[in-house]
C-alpha cells in the first residue's frame, strides 16, 4: 500500500484523494507504479502562492487528550490510539478548507480534543539552502544561495533534523534487479526567531571546510550544539513512512557538482547505461519541518 505524497500516511484503498489531507492521490498498481514520479499537482512542496488559499492544517498535541477522547474524536480503534499516544508529541490530523477546518475544531472539542489551526502557506515556505560555512564561538557564518548570513546562539526557535530516503526510479524497460541505491541523506532546518524561512543544511552538499571528525554528519551535530542553546530539537520525522518524489537539482557548489556526477544510473539495460531519476522525501521533510515550526512560533507567543 502506497503512502500519500503530501502527508506520508497510508492511503485508503480505492480512494482518489487522501483521507487525511484531501490531496489527489497517484494511481496504485500497474508496472512501475511504486516508483512513478509524483505529478506536479500533488507534489508535497508547492509554491506559497498556490498554498496561500484557504487551507488549514489541524495539529493535535497528543499529550493534551485522553486515549478515550482521541478514540472517539478521531474515530479510530483503541489499538491505533495507543500507538499514537506512545509516539507522543504533535500529530498532523487533517488539511482542510477554512470552513471545514472550523467545523472540525468544534467537532473535536465536543470530545475533549483540542486542535491548533495553522495556515498551510506557513508550512510551505521555501527554505534558504546553505552552500557552506564555518563555525565560530557561539556563531555559524553560513553562505546561502541568497548570500551570507550569521546565526548566533539565541537566534533559534527550533531545530528540525531527519534522515532522507533516496532511491533510483526504475523505468519499465529496466528488467534487471537493481542492487545499488543512493546513500541515505540527512537534512537540518534551523528555524530562526526573526525570519520565518528555515535555513536548510544538507550534509551531502554543504561545504564544511576542515572537520576534526572527518564526518559531515558529526560536524553538523557540532554546529547545532554551538548555536542551539535552549531551542528544542525535533527528530520525529524519522518515524514517518517516506513519501518519495523526484529530487530537485542540488544547489550550485563544489560538492553538488561531485554529487551530480555520482547520481548517474548504475543500471545497465540491454547493454546500455541510462541516467536514473533520483527520488527522495525532501519535500516531505520540508513540510513536516514547516508545520512544526509554525506550532513552535505560536507556543512562543503564548508562553
Domains in the chain with CATH codes = 47-123 (3.30.1390.10), 128-302 (no CATH)
Q: In 3-state terms, what secondary structure has residue 293?
A: helix
The residues with which 115 forms a beta bridge, in sequence order, are 60
Pairwise CA distance, residues 262 & 265, whole Å: 8
C-beta atoms surrounding 5 within 10 Å = 25
The grid coordinates of residue 267 equal 543500471
Pairwise CA distance, residues 169 & 35, whole Å: 5
Per-residue tens of pLDDT for the chain, all 303 residues? 556 655 666 555 455 666 555 566 665 544 444 444 433 333 343 333 344 468 999 999 999 999 999 999 999 999 999 999 998 899 999 999 999 999 999 999 999 999 999 999 999 999 999 999 999 999 999 999 999 999 999 999 999 999 999 998 876 555 555 556 788 999 999 999 999 999 999 998 999 876 666 788 888 999 999 999 999 999 999 999 999 999 998 876 655 544 444 445 555 455 555 567 899 999 999 999 999 999 999 988 854
Q: Do residues 60 and 73 lie in contact, with contact meaning Cβ atoms separated by under 8 Å?
A: no
Amino acid at each position: 500500500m502506497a503512502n500519500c505524497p503530501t502527508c506520508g500516511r497510508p492511503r485508503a484503498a480505492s480512494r482518489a484523494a487522501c483521507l487525511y489531507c484531501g490531496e489527489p492521490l497517484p494511481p496504485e498498481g500497474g508496472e512501475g507504479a511504486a516508483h512513478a514520479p509524483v505529478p506536479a499537482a500533488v507534489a508535497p512542496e508547492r509554491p506559497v502562492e498556490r498554498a496561500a488559499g484557504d487551507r488549514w492544517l489541524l495539529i493535535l498535541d497528543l499529550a493534551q487528550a485522553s486515549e478515550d477522547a482521541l478514540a472517539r474524536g478521531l474515530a479510530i480503534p483503541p489499538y491505533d490510539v495507543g500507538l499514537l499516544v506512545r509516539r507522543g508529541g504533535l500529530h498532523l490530523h487533517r488539511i482542510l478548507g477554512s470552513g471545514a477546518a472550523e467545523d472540525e475544531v468544534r467537532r473535536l472539542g465536543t470530545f475533549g480534543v483540542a486542535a491548533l489551526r495553522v495556515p498551510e502557506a506557513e508550512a510551505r515556505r521555501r527554505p534558504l539552502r546553505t552552500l557552506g560555512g564555518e563555525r565560530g564561538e557561539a556563531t555559524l557564518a553560513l553562505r546561502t544561495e541568497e548570500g551570507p548570513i550569521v546565526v548566533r546562539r539565541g537566534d533559534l526557535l527550533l531545530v528540525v533534523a531527519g534522515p532522507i530516503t533516496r532511491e533510483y526510479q526504475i523505468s519499465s524497460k529496466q528488467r534487471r534487479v537493481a542492487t545499488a541505491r543512493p546513500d541515505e541523506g540527512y537534512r537540518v532546518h534551523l528555524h530562526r526567531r526573526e525570519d520565518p524561512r528555515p535555513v536548510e543544511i544538507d550534509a551531502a552538499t554543504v561545504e564544511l571546510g576542515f572537520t576534526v571528525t572527518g564526518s559531515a554528519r558529526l560536524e553538523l551535530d557540532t554546529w547545532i550544539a554551538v548555536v542551539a542553546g535552549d531551542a528544542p530539537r525535533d527528530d520525529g520525522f524519522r518515524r514517518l513512512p517516506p513519501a518519495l518524489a523526484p529530487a530537485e537539482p542540488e544547489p550550485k557548489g563544489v560538492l553538488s557538482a561531485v554529487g551530480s556526477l555520482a547520481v548517474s544510473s548504475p543500471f545497465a539495460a540491454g547493454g546500455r547505461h541510462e541516467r536514473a531519476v533520483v527520488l527522495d522525501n525532501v519535500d516531505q521533510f520540508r513540510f513536516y519541518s514547516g508545520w512544526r515550526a509554525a506550532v513552535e512560533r505560536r507556543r512562543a507567543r503564548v508562553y
